[in-house]
Every structure is written in structure tokens, then in C-alpha cells.
Amino acid sequence: MGQQADDGPDTAHRRPAGVNDVTVEALGKLSEALETVERARGHLYSLHQLIGHADLMLDDAVARFRAADQPALADRIEQDLLGRNVIAGRWTFQIVEDFDDGYYALFRELDRYARDTLVGGRRHLFEAELKERRRTSGRPGHEARPGHEG
């Protein structure tokens, strides 16, 4: 079954003239790497929230140790652990900020620069071409894009 003239990805997901396979593959790998960093960033924010929550829970633990007539243990937790840096000189919000402003910002900048420079800013070209190779044109559920049957 041949493709119709309007079948296939939209213009934003079509390879510009003169762009070779290796370039599309390299951009795909860069995008995949950024997606992995995005996932890692989510875990970093989870760490930030979990550590913050645990620190606030220590207030209750300290109060209960005081109620259990364990003032020395309550004092040690309150003085040594409550509000402690998780990494030398840093709470998790500082780790998140350093990550966002440094490594993450540069990664995103270079991903955008590569796409802008090589393919006019187009995103996910590798995936769009993979979809075209794998879908069955004309079959329900295999449309090239939203609102286009066929």
C-alpha cells in the first residue's frame, strides 16, 4: 500500500534537504541522552523532597524521644542531624540549583544549538523517521499524525 501525498510526518518532523543519516542518528543520540538526564533530574528533585520531608519528620522523633525520657538522644539528633548539610556545605536545594544552572543548563543549550544549527530546530527527527518505517500506512491506529486518517 503506497503512501498518499499528504501522508507522513508534519513539516516539523521531516528531515531538511541535505541532512544525512549520520546527522539524524547523532541528533537522536543527543536527544536520548538529554531524555536520560531529564529522568536523572527528576530523581534529583525526588531526593530533594524526600530529604526535606525526612528532616521535618525528625522534629516529631525528637519530641517523642523527649517524651520517652531520652533527652540525650533527642539532643544529639536535634544538634547533629536536624538541619545538617547532606553534602559538604549544601542542603539539597543547593545541589538542585547547582545542577540546574550548570550541567543541565549546558546540556539543554547544546541540544538546542545542535538542532538549530543542523536541522532548523526540528526535534525528534530520528523517532519520526522510525515511526514512518514501522507504521502501516492506511491502517487504523497507524496514522502519521493527529487528524490524518490513512
**Residue range 16-41, pLDDT digits in tens:** 999 999 999 999 999 999 999 999 99
Q: Where residue 7 falls among pLDDT bands split at 50, 70, 90?
A: confident
Kindly tell me if the per-residue pLDDT of 150 is higher than 60.
Answer: no
- Whole-model pTM? 0.84
C-alpha cell read off for 65: 524521644
Beta pairing partners, 87: 90
Integer Cα distance of 1 and 4 in angstroms: 9
**Residue range 34-63, pLDDT digits in tens:** 999 999 999 999 999 999 999 999 999 999
